Amino acid sequence: MALDEGTLAALRDDAARELPRTTELRHALHRVPELGLDLPLTQRLVLDALADLDLEVHPGRGLSSVTAVLRGGLPGPAVLLRGDMDALPVTEEPDGDLVSGHPGVMHACGHDMHVAGLVGAARVLAARRDEIAGSVVLMFQPGEEGHGGARLMIDEGVLDAAGSRVVGAYGVHVMASTIPVGVVASRPGTLMAASDTVRVTVHGRGGHGSKPYLAADPVPVAAEIVLALQTMVTRQFDVFDPVVVTVGRIQAGTTDNVIPDLAHLDATVRTFSPATHAAVPERIARVCEHVAAAHGLTATVDYERGYPVTVNDATEVERARRVTRGLFGDDAWLDAEAPVPGAEDFSYVLEQVPGAFVFVGATPVGQDPATADYNHSPRARFADDALVTASAVLAALALDRLAQAAG
């Protein structure tokens, strides 16, 4: 059974009533941004904010996460709601009173909004605990910005924190521009890219620049590899399932008349489907090794897997579309036409549990979403009003999924 109009309206009103409190929490978090997997001040604020809600709270062991289980009054399965907690090594350009108190660190990706929005959802859900058939796992996650915090929380058991594997998982990401405040956007299937790093070393034999035939020059081989990788991308992969390979660093030698022993290449690799993500490392290694072999040299290829492709379940995106429109009207939902080439470690959760990740517009009122500063900018600003959207959508997704299970 889907949530009815009256329940959705009540959720929206409850989330709006929480706004002063969620805003206060968001501002407190914004003033003490922390990096990586160890966020003691952030964790303390989360624990304090949840203290009066009668939840089963489990702080992380290897990282400063918080897993909190809200038990409903009726039996049923468990669902998961996630908010990431970490900031970025960015020096904030102040605009008004709300500014980082930690020099060189800033909530420039809006994860303070995610934490406060998830606490807001927890309060809305706790207030109607008696009607809930099942449990809600609240996943407060450090280390999204390249540290794989979601992976570590899965290893510590977050997906089974309620005693059984969660049957649905939902997360939001606020956007400082591109989407107007209060608008929710997503798409079925691939929403975000996988991001990998490849490091290539071409092994030659150094010598005198005037007598290359007595040496084995790795420099022209490295140059051929750069071009061969671009040819590989266009000849071996479907143009509608794109691959991006960018060699961002190339290094060899010391001066003009010395052939070096080695040449190094570093590249970033973006893919948009699990199949392509799986296939691309072997293809890259083949090109590098065989181009080198063609010239009598060798290449070693070190391929580092980053976050996998973020893939939304189609049924769960339909749920997100329906509850968003029920909460805030038809215009509050936007079908995202294409995936975005950024990466996200909620992908690890969505590899194991059907769910949906959605973008929430937080462009400050009065600014043009097309020109406002984007996430990760030292001037990125996030509208507090988007906390109502985040809290209401997360709470509604959890309730709607549990209502479906209750039949």
**Residues identified as active-site:** 86, 144
Nearer to Zn ion, 42 or 201 (CB): 42
Residue 147: CB minimum distance to Zn ion, A: 12
| Residue number with the smallest Cβ distance to Zn ion | 109
Q: Considering beta carbons, is residue 310 or 324 the nearer one to Zn ion?
A: 310
Applying CB under 5 A, the span of 18-26, 107-115, 241-249, 310-318 interacting with Zn ion comes to 107-115
Closest distance of CB 368 from Zn ion, Å: 22
Of the candidate spans 106-114, 211-219, 263-271, 279-287, the one that interacts with Zn ion by CB under 5 A turns out to be 106-114
Options 8-16, 104-112, 252-260, 294-302: segment touching Zn ion (CB under 5 A): 104-112
User: Which residue lies nearer to Zn ion by CB, 268 or 298?
Assistant: 268
Size of site (CB under 5 A) for Zn ion = 1
Choose the stretch contacting Zn ion; rule: CB under 5 A; options: 31-39, 103-111, 246-254, 265-273.
103-111
Q: What is the crossing angle of helices 19-31 and 40-50, to 10°?
A: 160
The reply on whether position 109 binds Zn ion by CB under 5 A is: yes
Closest distance between Zn ion and the C-beta of residue 39, in Å? 14
150 vs 388 by CB, closer to Zn ion: 150
Q: What character string, x for contact with Zn ion (CB under 5 A) and - otherwise, covers 53-92?
A: ----------------------------------------
Beta carbon of residue 371, minimum distance to Zn ion (angstroms, whole number): 21
Span 231-270, contacts to Zn ion by CB under 5 A: none
109 vs 350, beta carbon nearer Zn ion: 109
The two beta strands, 169-180 and 355-363, are: parallel
- Which is closer to Zn ion, CB of 39 or CB of 109? 109
Shortest spacing between CB 109 and Zn ion, in angstroms: 3
- Hey, what amino acid is at 194? A
Point out which span in 6-14, 101-109, 181-189, 224-232 binds Zn ion (CB under 5 A).
101-109
Q: Minimum distance between the CB of residue 76 and Zn ion, rounded to whole angstroms?
A: 31
Which residues are near Zn ion by CB under 5 A?
A: 109
